[in-house]
Amino acid sequence: VSVKRAEIRAPAVRRRRGELRVALLGFGHVGRAFARGLLGPYREALASRKLRLRVVGVATRVHGAAVDARGLDLTQCLARVEAGGCLASLHRGAPLPSALAFVRSVPADVLVELTSLDPLRGEPATTHLRAALSRGLHVVTANKGPVAFAWSELKRLARRHRCELLHEGAVMDGTPVFNLVSRCLPGCRILGFRGTLNSTSSHVLTRMEEGASLEAAVREAQAAGIAEADPRADLSGWDSAVKGCTLANVLMGATVRPREVRRRGIVRIQPETVRSAIERGRRIRLVVRGSRLGRRIRVRVAPEEIPLGDPLSTRGSDAALILQTDLMGEIGVYERGGNVEQAAYAIFSDLATLASLGAITGRGWPRSREAT
């Protein structure tokens, strides 16, 4: 224990006991919902865990970036970005020419990566994560791109630098999926999975069952903040393919890339087809499946007719996942009405995990070279 303690360097800006310094890269729907949570509903939960979070940096693409080692005023950050303004006047320190410069210099213990999903390459998020882990920052992300594209490499990097890489929000927002398997199913192998995991597609199909057009339903999903920055990623099945790879890679030890997924989306589905399925007691839903075929693990995405009453016959933006295990048979998790607050909770939950790991190992927070 004494050796581990000796490794912790004293910070120049004094940290209070139990305080975690957080840098937010991405301040869109999820980042802002998380910030609003910190200002309101998370307060009590943080206090009860004796955990203090200090947001020392926020970076965006077009709204600039701000770093302040003493802690940023989140109310001001929210007001500026929500009014379409810029964060630059809140910045204290050397100029930040890029998001990567932010990651490399922000005086934080943990990088929370919340930039938009790039379903084709997982970039630049993967580069951000590499840079953060390489300098000894823990990483929390809801961006499934890096997990789908570079999971084993990033995990190795995290291990080498003795950091945590947590990503509960990558699939089903804050609903425990990765935590469920890692904490509650000791010794279980995941043999396969099936799920309706794309809230936008499920919302659109539900609204089409009710007579709305696909375009109108997509606009509703965008207004609710649940659609990807480009909703074609949702409707064409890319988002589900990336989630399928994330599940297969983390839970089944696969190395599947989204391009290898056999994928069909819901773009061409006609309203008559959706309504006729309902009349026959079935629902069309975009289903992602992962299965083992000998030593290979295969992920597929396609619309399927699901009998009403089946756990996957979700409504609205609900999401459902069934895991097939060797020791526990089939188990399922269900998220009612997925929304950005639930996505933001995933960040809170990962940070709380980080805090408890720090407490359990007694090693405190990582020693990032620049984080002084």
The one catalytic residue in 4, 50, 144, 243 is 243
| Shortest reach from residue 359's CB to ligand NAP, in Å | 27
Is the four-CA dihedral 216, 217, 218, 220 of positive or negative sign?
A: positive
Q: How many CB atoms lie within 10 A of CB 39?
A: 13
- Cα separation, 62 vs 293, in Å, equals 45
- Cα separation, 244 vs 86, in Å, equals 36
Q: Closest Cα to residue 239, out of 314, 306, 142, 140?
A: 142
Nearer to ligand NAP, 11 or 225 (CB): 225
- Placement of tokens 């396969």 in the chain: 192
| Shortest reach from residue 256's CB to ligand NAP, in Å | 18
Nearer to ligand NAP, 105 or 143 (CB): 143
Nearer to ligand NAP, 172 or 269 (CB): 172
Contact in structure between 324 and 330 (CB atoms under 8 Å): yes
| Shortest reach from residue 362's CB to ligand NAP, in Å | 32
What b/e readout covers 183-209, taking b as 16+ CB neighbours within 10 angstroms? eebeebebebbbbbbbbbbbbbbbbbb
Nearer to ligand NAP, 115 or 206 (CB): 115
144 an active-site residue? no
- Cα separation, 107 vs 235, in Å, equals 39
- Cα separation, 73 vs 136, in Å, equals 25
Comparing every residue's Cβ against ligand NAP, the nearest one is 28
| Shortest reach from residue 333's CB to ligand NAP, in Å | 15
Phi-psi bin for 89: left (phi > 0), alpha (psi -120 to 50), beta? alpha
Contact residues toward ligand NAP (CB under 6 A) are: 26-31, 59-63, 99, 114-117, 124, 142-143, 169, 173, 225-226, 228-229, 340, 343
| Shortest reach from residue 65's CB to ligand NAP, in Å | 8
Q: Which residues are catalytic?
A: 243
